[in-house]
Structure 1
């Protein structure tokens, strides 16, 4: 069984307590406790800032890499920070050189929240909309291409190599595009596989219902207690285990896992990272390093650098992961960095405890804190773009809110079958939030950009979760689209043609944060049907009908994304229930 005892004050305060302790170790850090943001107190704002982050429980990642990174935004244990936290991190370190968000956990809700923060920043700072770059690192090779489908690979310890290389390049004064390009290239050349003797235990939770037997080992497990794809018994010696693990990364004959362009002809050169997942002894890690090094030598895979230690954990999980960064070759297509550049960036001195670092100075007491958060400013100045009839615009929104509230029980019923049962309540919360915003005058119909940004903020704060992030990203992008379309047309009033252009731009932007494409049995199905069919005022009714038909059709569509992707297909087929998120979009459009 996983170790279930912990030494702490309170599970609810553990993350903040730990971050405060980190600031005592590293006296170059400042801390914003309410948002769980750790950042460099003295920043060179002429250089690109990296913002890392994700759930806690993976220490020293991510806060332990602040130094190479400008800031880390930390969620609760195994939970992503919300978009407001990420946005706070951007605000604390943003500069004219720009920011890169090398986000590592390829999970829908996390991508949406990091993406939403970037989109909100762009919506509120049009002049700097190109100064925030977004990067997803997915290096897990355990999940095959068929199983992963459009979702892609999870992020594991390989992300720390991206942090180090991108951080060192930024410190040299490289441009935002240069840092983002090299980071993206490196992210695409890393493969990681994990192995564990047991799962971990999250402080404050009930004991796990299942565990590995004393003679079992699990391969391909995630870093949030997700089950792996293979169990072996008895536990094999490293001489048998390591070749199997390297096959997952370097094999080119496995069609499911040929993620990296290894040639396996004696010309491959790699950087090896052996990572302790939290519960392995240094003695064992040393043995793993030797076994991997010898196996790579047998395969004639050159090892240019070896990194070993605790970089990204899964709390107290007894296990390790192997990462291989396949260095560039002369015949690799351009653009690409050189192998020498990658190695020099890895070798550059690091100013962070997560990368075998110590401050070398006593901590500053008390820990420097971030300046108090101020009330969010309204996005930009008045856009000058209003609804033709503001009263009618508000009446339409109120109709939508009433319809969504009335539909909540039915949408909730659908979601108890096809999801996790909260879709109806989430949409209802959003509708009630919009009603309140209208009542207090935050939405007026006289400034559509500000109104749509306000709706996006309601979706973020009142709805939460994946749906809230999706809606908020869409409306944030819609605000940008309205402003851009109006500027191009020289319009001061929203016309159907302007709405059509803005909606198409918003849908395109949404597609950068979700891989769902119609038909996918998600809210994207009716949304895309409406946007594609709507071109002018005369087409509105037809577009609404197209959206309704698409929502109805989700009854017969295999789930390719969203919560329903994890539900037994037989249940969905037997119940003939439409996707609840899609039904919510149908409800909104029909009420309009």
Structure 2
């Protein structure tokens, strides 16, 4: 599916401020500091604790939409997907400060934590008598980020943050002390988990149109709210009655050492939750209703009692077609130092005039009867091919090797993404993973087969062109297209299968054709370094030694960590940083992963 790249706006630059002015028109209780993009309550009771939040725009109604009586006192807004700066936040604190204190709540994203934290420290330095009356809370509720992966940075903050706003804000509205408000906010933050899923990424207004990140048959689980990739993709898109249990497993698991974040007691032990189903921006209300139904059903089957259901648009990723599920695990009778369940629910049910807060019944959901559904599946057909085919010497081994290469790229995606976040623009891992996933689908649908090597290589070239995009997609597509030409032009008369000599000569001619379209030459800190090493080694002796050639390519990929960037996006990265961190070229690392898997 394509990414929607058209928007209703005056200009991209004015969109955030125009939207905030519209929000204030909706709720006359709100006021706006236009210069600092701070929405705040125009008149508030200074005898009550103030709550302030914020972050990048593009998540509406979060964050400013939750400013209102019984919820937040102020929301500070940055540009789309970009944190506001510390002076904006400090202005927000000054607008709502009082003798009772302020609680600052931020999602766990580096920019938000740093800028809001800096503002809090500056406020304390400028107001030493009030330094102990400013509390700071970071919320990270994403269960898609494993404990090992998030060991240092922690989990991302997602839609569960809104439950912290509501419960803590209602308690502040009742006149509770700063410590009481902070303690309940901290407790709620420790008991929430969120998992997101998307059909596609979103487009930021004012940026160039981008190609689809997901194929029409894919969904991505573990989506963030800033176009970050998820932790896995599924194809074809499963029906909800298959998808929802997979998502709930991420939230309810007590055995997964990477994702057992919440202390569920397990089926039959009286776990109770608040359920929040959040529209990430581009999902229809029709679909959201079906998602709620299946989620409530899935929780019931898992032995979890749902005390409240909240549904709607709470924290978006612009117009992303996706949703997230949040569970707030309510206290049990054996929990010590925990608020009462009745208190949590009453705070959640308490009325607020915040425009972003959605209606809820204040009651547990009614019983839902599940109707049986069937979803037909479509099988792909192999593409017709013309002329005499070239088969692999071992067709089954050929397909197994291609599958290994694809799976290796998918497994390496987090590491390649990490490398590219330093040495490039951060998309290399996702681009390669998209290509690998699409190739696996081509195999599944019979368009890549061991008895038609040329047709299969052309199919890979097409995948690189259509599914990967950008520089990497073009380079891969050219190389595989040239490889297919080389197999045909270098074959001997009456040859019906591809042997090692033909593979070697085709690889050499493919590299020659690739050099027609790129100025990169080794050593260049690009993917041509391992490709050149491979081709050179294959043609250097009387016999073809693929393992030795792959070893040379792997060495060349590793050696890019010490090379000066001469081509690609790494050429724009400050050179000393690359030398200090010794990050190999992400594209070269991807080639290494492919080649090593092919000869494994």
The 8 Å contact of residues 54 and 76 in structure 2, kept in 1 or not, is answered as yes
Which residue in 2 is equivalent to 1:373?
A: none
Which residue in 2 is equivalent to 1:79?
A: 82
C-alpha RMSD over aligned residues: 2.5
Structure 2: any 5+ residue segments left out of the alignment?
Answer: 361-418, 425-556, 565-574, 582-600
Structure 1 residues 285 and 190, CA gap change in structure 2 (3 angstroms): same
Which residue in 1 is equivalent to 2:381?
A: none
Instruction: Report which of the two structures shows the higher radius of gyration computed on alpha carbons.
Output: 2
Following TM superposition, by how much is the alpha carbon of 1:107 offset from its aligned partner in structure 2, in angstroms? 2.0
Which residue in 1 is equivalent to 2:176?
A: 174
The 8 Å contact of residues 423 and 578 in structure 2, kept in 1 or not, is answered as no
Alignment of 1:95-134 (within 5 A): 95-104=98-107, 106-134=108-136
Q: Which deviations, in whole Å up to 9, do the C-alpha atoms of 1:158-186 show, x marking residues without a partner? A: 00000000000000000011100100000
Which residue in 1 is equivalent to 2:276?
A: 273
Q: Measure, in 2, the Cα distance between the counterparts of 1:73 and 1:307.
A: 25
Structure 1, 57-66 or 258-267: larger mean CA deviation: 258-267
Q: Measure, in 1, the Cα distance between the counterparts of 2:340 and 2:52.
A: 25
Q: Measure, in 1, the Cα distance between the counterparts of 2:298 and 2:308.
A: 15
The 8 Å contact of residues 418 and 580 in structure 1, kept in 2 or not, is answered as no
Q: Measure, in 2, the Cα distance between the counterparts of 1:315 and 1:150.
A: 28
Following TM superposition, by how much is the alpha carbon of 1:52 offset from its aligned partner in structure 2, in angstroms? 1.1
Moved over 3 A (4+): 416-421, 568-575, 577-583
The 8 Å contact of residues 195 and 221 in structure 1, kept in 2 or not, is answered as yes
Q: Measure, in 1, the Cα distance between the counterparts of 2:74 and 2:243.
A: 37
The 8 Å contact of residues 199 and 211 in structure 1, kept in 2 or not, is answered as yes
The 8 Å contact of residues 194 and 325 in structure 2, kept in 1 or not, is answered as yes
Whose relative contact order is higher, 1 or 2, with alpha carbons under 8 Å and at least 6 apart?
1
Following TM superposition, by how much is the alpha carbon of 1:265 offset from its aligned partner in structure 2, in angstroms? 3.0
> Secondary structure, in 3 states, of the residue corresponding to 1:3?
coil
Structure 1, 272-281 or 348-357: larger mean CA deviation: 348-357
Q: Measure, in 2, the Cα distance between the counterparts of 1:340 and 1:93.
A: 30
Following TM superposition, by how much is the alpha carbon of 1:208 offset from its aligned partner in structure 2, in angstroms? 2.2
Alignment of 1:113-262 (within 5 A): 113-262=115-264
Q: Measure, in 2, the Cα distance between the counterparts of 1:292 and 1:265.
A: 16
Following TM superposition, by how much is the alpha carbon of 1:40 offset from its aligned partner in structure 2, in angstroms? 0.3
> Secondary structure, in 3 states, of the residue corresponding to 1:114?
helix
Alignment of 1:30-69 (within 5 A): 30-67=31-68, 68-69=71-72
Q: Measure, in 2, the Cα distance between the counterparts of 1:59 and 1:418.
A: 27
Q: Which deviations, in whole Å up to 9, do the C-alpha atoms of 1:81-130 show, x marking residues without a partner? A: 000000000000000010001111x1222211100000000101110001
Q: Measure, in 2, the Cα distance between the counterparts of 1:52 and 1:185.
A: 17
Alignment of 1:352-431 (within 5 A): 352-356=354-358, 419=422
Q: Which deviations, in whole Å up to 9, do the C-alpha atoms of 1:468-491 show, x marking residues without a partner? A: xxxxxxxxxxxxxxxxxxxxxxxx
Q: Measure, in 1, the Cα distance between the counterparts of 2:109 and 2:347.
A: 28
Which residue in 1 is equivalent to 2:524?
A: none
Q: Measure, in 2, the Cα distance between the counterparts of 1:572 and 1:315.
A: 37
Q: Measure, in 2, the Cα distance between the counterparts of 1:271 and 1:340.
A: 12
Following TM superposition, by how much is the alpha carbon of 1:573 offset from its aligned partner in structure 2, in angstroms? 7.3
Alignment of 1:545-584 (within 5 A): none
TM-score for the superposition, normalised by structure 1: 0.61
Q: Measure, in 1, the Cα distance between the counterparts of 2:277 and 2:359.
A: 17
Give aligned pairs, total. Answer: 379
Q: Which deviations, in whole Å up to 9, do the C-alpha atoms of 1:128-179 show, x marking residues without a partner? A: 0011100000000001111112111000000000000000000000001110
Following TM superposition, by how much is the alpha carbon of 1:20 offset from its aligned partner in structure 2, in angstroms? 0.2
Structure 1 residues 256 and 21, CA gap change in structure 2 (3 angstroms): same
Structure 1: any 5+ residue segments left out of the alignment?
Answer: 359-415, 422-567, 584-592
Structure 1 residues 85 and 269, CA gap change in structure 2 (3 angstroms): same
Q: Measure, in 2, the Cα distance between the counterparts of 1:165 and 1:17.
A: 29
Q: Measure, in 1, the Cα distance between the counterparts of 2:248 and 2:309.
A: 15
Q: Which deviations, in whole Å up to 9, do the C-alpha atoms of 1:33-65 show, x marking residues without a partner? A: 110000000010000000010110000111100
Q: Measure, in 2, the Cα distance between the counterparts of 1:89 and 1:230.
A: 38
The 8 Å contact of residues 3 and 212 in structure 2, kept in 1 or not, is answered as no
The 8 Å contact of residues 417 and 572 in structure 1, kept in 2 or not, is answered as no
Q: Measure, in 2, the Cα distance between the counterparts of 1:33 and 1:255.
A: 46
